[in-house]
Amino acid sequence: MQGEHVLSGSTGWQFACPALVYYCLTIFIHERFPKSVHEARLVFPRRGKDMKGLLSAAAIGGLLSVAGCGPLPPTQDDVEAQALQLKQATDELIQSAVQSGQAVVVTTTINLDADPMGDFNDPDVAAEFQRIRWSATQWTNINDPEAHLTVGNSRRAFDIGPTGNFYQTVFGRVLYQVYIVSPGTYRLSGANYQLPRTEIPNPQLSLPKPIKPSALGQVVLTKTNFAEFNKAVEWRDASYGTRTESWTGCTAVHVMSGACVSSQKFKQEVTELRDPAGYRSVTQKKDVAGAMVTVSLKKDFARFTIKPGEVLLVDGFYADPPISNYSADSCKQVAANDVRCELDSVTFTRMSTSLEDWRNASDPAKYGYAGMSAVLKAMRYQEPEILAKPVKQPSRWGIPYQLK
């Protein structure tokens, strides 16, 4: 096929990673080709004025091999080389995005290392860390619901796909995350997080009655179990084992010389102490009830607009669990383990930032991202339009805002 490079077996890459193919396509040919990967026929254009500066074949190879999509799994000797390929490909990707009419957003969430949690052997500490670590906020393009970004710890693009971040760095209590997005207006559309030690509402305990849909949105709680581990001391009785002793013995001796003239092999089972009785430190596993929570907003909590080729720094909003407020009477069983409730209010914590704070973080060039560093030098700060109202409630991360 003239003018295009087909991603097939002839390239040497066996595509076992459709998610990676999808994000390469959505990032690089979002404006030119159909949104469906299948309609786009898995091709990269070799040239075209609106696609100038796409990833090189070597960079694409680096992305695929590091993601485990190559014909053979990487060996230990390949790790450093592949890490370098991934870094170079990411660097080129950020530059290409701006050149090809996409845009770059840098936004904020919490820096988990800024506030020491304590001893993770303590189940209370572990449950709290689980709660704050997996919280993520979603921004969605108002004209294209498939174009969104997922902001939060453990949300790298190479872990979750194109909605994740491609680079992150910290300053103070803030974690900065770099995203590639399609131009347009983005609204804060929801969040997801985990709630260990939580019992979800049971609508079957309430009298059936019509449920009025909320103009704000809904929350879905999925029943699940979380494993907790406790250190304990318990008494253990002594344990014994047996071993076999074998030897060769003389069964007949010459009377005059005393020499052995006949021998035989003997065996004997011997009981021995393996572990003395006493108290032992043990780790005990316990399953506790909890919920996976998904919040979906109909109203706009906050929004920002980004133009083709722009690079913006925008305040993030952290979903500090639990963020949703609802009445148990508004809940309905919608699946075996899912309960959906109508929202009364929702609260996010604003993670304010500035260009000055950003510049105090480590320069990406320090870690080998010279191209990304150059792109981000053109970044400007844009305050998001906030439709929620600040509320007076304690927060260790920032200023809480609430929408009803």
Q: How far is CA 390 from CA 318, 343, 404, in A?
A: 14, 18, 12
The rounded distance, in Å, linking the Cα atoms of 216 and 325 is: 11
> Nearest CA to 168 among 394, 389, 384, 361?
361
pLDDT at 265 over 50: yes
Question: Per the structure block, which two tokens stand in for 73?
Answer: 């799994």
The rounded distance, in Å, linking the Cα atoms of 158 and 24 is: 11
The rounded distance, in Å, linking the Cα atoms of 390 and 370 is: 39
DSSP 199: P
What is the tens place of the pLDDT at every residue in 342-400? 999 999 999 999 999 999 999 999 999 999 999 999 999 999 999 999 999 989 899 99
pLDDT band at 324 (very low <50, low <70, confident <90, very high): very high
Is the C-alpha dihedral spanning 43, 46, 48, 53 positive or negative? Answer: positive
Three-class secondary structure of residue 321 per DSSP: coil
DSSP 165: B
Strand pairing report for 380-381 and 311-314: parallel
* H or E stretch covering 355: helix 355-360
pTM: 0.73
pLDDT band at 77 (very low <50, low <70, confident <90, very high): low
